C-alpha cells in the first residue's frame, strides 16, 4: 500500500489517498472521502522519476494521485520511459557520477586548452583573406586619434628601415600568403608622460613601430627580430583567432552560467579573463617561433630578439622597485599575464641562437 494524495482533475483540492496494486495488474485508489477508483495499471500514466520529487500518477479520468514514496512506485511500475530510466540510473549510481565528473572535468579542460584554440585556428584560416581587412578597417584611424602621435623619427631613418624591410624581411614571407602586403608605420606613443617602446601588427599587415622602440634598439637586427615577430602574428592570423576564441568563450560561459542564479556569474568574468590571457600567451610564443625560424634563414642571430626584449622590459621597469620584479617573475602572475614569461622567451631565443651559431637554418 502506497500512501499519498489524490486531486480531482485541475483542482487544488487535496485529499489523503492510498494506492494498492494486486497481482493481476489491477489498481485501487482509496480516497479519504470514501471514493474508490479501480482500473488496469496499463491505463495509468506515471511521471518520470527525478531525484525524490513527488511522483504524479494520472488516472483515466484525469484526476491525479501523488506520492513521495518513489521507491515503492519504481518497484510497482517499470519506468515506462526507457530514456528517463537510463538517465535516472546515471544520476543515482556512484560509478556513473564519478565517470561524469571525470569526463566533464577533462572535456572542459581540453575544450578550453586545446579545442577552442584548435577550432579557432581552423576557422581563422578558412575565412577569406578579406576578413582580415574587415576587422582592421578603421583601426589605424582609431589608434592615431586616441593613442598615437606623429613620429619624431627622421624621414631618412624611416626610409632606411622600410627599404631594409623590403629587401631583407619581406622576401622571407613570400611563401606565407600571397594576399599579404606589409606596411611599416612609425608613431610616437606616450602614456602618462612615459614613452612606450612597442611594436604592433594589425591583421591587414600594417606594422606599427613606436619611436621609443627605435630609440632603444641598438642595431638593425634587433628591429628586424621584432618586425618578424609581428609578421608572425599577421601570418598566423592571431587577431582573427582571438575574435573567434572570444566568441567561443562567451557562448560557453552563457551555456554554463545561463542556468545560474547570478551568483557564479561574477567568478566567470575572472575565469574567462584567465583563459583569454592564456590564449594570448600562446600566440606570443607562436609569433616568437615564427620570428626565430625566419631569422635563421635570414642569418640574423636570434639572440638579438632577447637583447631588445630585455632592454624594453628593463626600460619599462626602470621606475619600479625590487618588490615589483619578484612579483613580475612569480609564477602566479604568469597566469594573468598576456605575454609569456620573459625568462622562457629568452631561453627559447638562446636555443635558436645556438643553432644559428652552428650555421643551421632549421632548429629543433
Q: Grid coordinates standing for 258?
A: 545561463
DSSP 102-142: HHHHHHHHHIIIIIHHHHHHHHHHHS-THHHHHHHTTHHHH
Are 210 and 140 in contact by the 8 Å Cβ rule? The answer is: no
Which residue stretch of 220-228, 298-306, 321-329, 351-359 sits at the interface with other proteins (rule: CB under 8 A)?
Answer: 321-329
DSSP 27-54: EEEEETTS-EEEEEGGG-EEPPP-TTPP
Task: Return the residues of window 107-126 that contact other proteins according to CB under 8 A.
Answer: 107
* Of residues 178 and 319, the one with the C-beta less far from other proteins: 319
Q: Site mask, other proteins, residues 270-299, x = CB under 8 A? A: xx----------------------------
- CA dist 108 and 314 (Å) reads 38
Are 291 and 231 in contact by the 8 Å Cβ rule? The answer is: yes
- CA dist 159 and 155 (Å) reads 6
CB of 38 to other proteins, least distance (A): 21
Task: Return the residues of window 219-248 that contact other proteins according to CB under 8 A.
Answer: 243-244, 246-247
Which residue stretch of 168-176, 257-265, 288-296, 348-356 sits at the interface with other proteins (rule: CB under 8 A)?
Answer: 257-265
CB of 206 to other proteins, least distance (A): 17
CB of 100 to other proteins, least distance (A): 4
* Of residues 320 and 354, the one with the C-beta less far from other proteins: 320
* Of residues 5 and 294, the one with the C-beta less far from other proteins: 5
Indicate whether 336 belongs to the interface with other proteins (CB under 8 A).
yes
Residue 78: strand, helix, or coil: coil
Q: Mention every residue, 6+ apart, whose C-beta is less than 8 A from residue 291.
A: 225, 226, 228, 229, 231, 232, 302, 305
Which one of 17, 44, 116, 135 is in contact with other proteins (CB under 8 A)? Answer: 135
DSSP 340-357: --HHHHHHHHHHHHHHHH
Indicate whether 64 belongs to the interface with other proteins (CB under 8 A).
yes
* Of residues 60 and 354, the one with the C-beta less far from other proteins: 60
Is 68 exposed, middle or buried (CB count within 10 Å of its CB: 0-12, 13-18, 19+)? middle
Q: How far is CA 123 from the centre of its chain?
A: 14
Indicate whether 316 belongs to the interface with other proteins (CB under 8 A).
no
Which one of 1, 75, 297, 327 is in contact with other proteins (CB under 8 A)? Answer: 327
Binding-site ranges for other proteins (CB under 8 A): 7, 10-14, 50-54, 56, 64, 66, 87, 90-92, 96-97, 99-101, 103-105, 107, 134-135, 243-244, 246-247, 250-251, 254-256, 258-261, 263-264, 266-267, 270-271, 320-321, 323-324, 327-328, 333, 336-337
Amino acid at each position: 500500500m502506497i500512501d499519498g494524495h489524490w486531486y480531482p482533475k485541475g483542482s487544488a483540492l487535496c485529499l489523503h489517498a492510498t494506492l494498492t496494486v494486486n497481482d493481476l495488474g489491477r489498481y485501487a485508489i482509496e480516497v479519504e472521502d470514501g471514493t474508490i477508483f479501480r482500473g488496469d495499471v496499463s491505463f495509468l500514466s506515471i511521471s518520470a522519476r527525478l531525484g525524490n520529487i513527488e511522483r504524479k500518477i494520472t488516472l483515466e479520468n484525469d484526476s491525479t494521485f501523488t506520492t513521495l514514496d518513489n521507491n515503492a512506485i519504481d518497484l510497482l511500475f517499470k519506468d515506462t520511459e526507457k530514456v528517463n530510466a537510463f538517465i535516472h540510473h546515471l544520476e543515482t549510481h556512484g560509478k556513473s557520477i564519478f565517470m561524469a565528473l571525470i569526463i566533464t572535468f577533462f572535456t572542459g579542460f581540453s575544450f578550453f586548452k586545446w579545442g577552442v584554440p584548435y577550432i579557432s585556428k581552423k576557422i581563422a584560416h578558412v575565412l577569406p583573406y578579406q576578413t582580415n581587412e574587415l576587422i582592421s578597417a578603421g583601426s589605424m584611424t582609431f589608434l592615431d586619434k586616441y593613442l598615437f602621435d606623429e613620429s619624431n623619427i627622421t624621414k631618412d631613418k624611416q626610409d632606411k628601415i622600410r627599404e631594409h624591410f623590403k629587401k631583407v624581411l619581406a622576401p622571407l614571407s613570400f611563401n606565407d600568403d600571397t594576399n599579404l602586403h606589409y606596411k611599416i608605420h612609425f608613431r610616437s606613443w606616450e602614456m602618462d608622460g612615459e614613452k612606450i617602446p612597442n611594436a604592433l601588427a594589425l591583421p591587414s599587415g600594417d606594422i606599427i613601430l613606436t619611436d621609443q622602440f627605435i630609440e632603444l634598439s641598438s642595431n638593425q637586427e634587433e628591429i628586424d627580430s621584432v618586425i618578424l615577430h609581428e609578421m608572425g602574428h599577421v601570418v598566423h592570423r592571431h587577431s582573427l583567432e582571438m575574435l573567434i576564441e572570444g566568441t567561443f568563450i562567451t557562448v560557453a560561459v552563457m551555456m554554463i552560467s545561463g542556468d545560474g542564479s547570478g551568483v557564479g556569474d561574477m567568478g566567470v568574468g575572472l575565469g574567462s579573463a584567465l583563459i583569454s590571457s592564456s590564449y594570448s600567451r600562446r600566440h606570443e610564443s607562436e609569433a616568437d617561433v615564427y620570428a626565430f625560424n625566419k631569422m635563421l634563414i635570414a642569418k640574423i642571430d636570434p639572440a638579438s630578439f632577447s637583447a631588445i626584449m630585455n632592454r624594453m622590459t628593463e626600460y619599462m621597469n626602470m621606475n619600479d622597485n625590487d618588490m615589483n620584479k619578484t612579483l613580475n617573475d612569480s609564477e602566479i602572475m604568469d597566469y594573468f599575464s598576456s605575454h609569456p614569461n620573459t625568462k622562457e622567451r629568452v631561453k627559447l631565443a638562446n636555443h635558436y641562437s645556438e643553432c644559428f651559431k652552428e650555421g643551421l637554418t632549421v632548429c629543433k
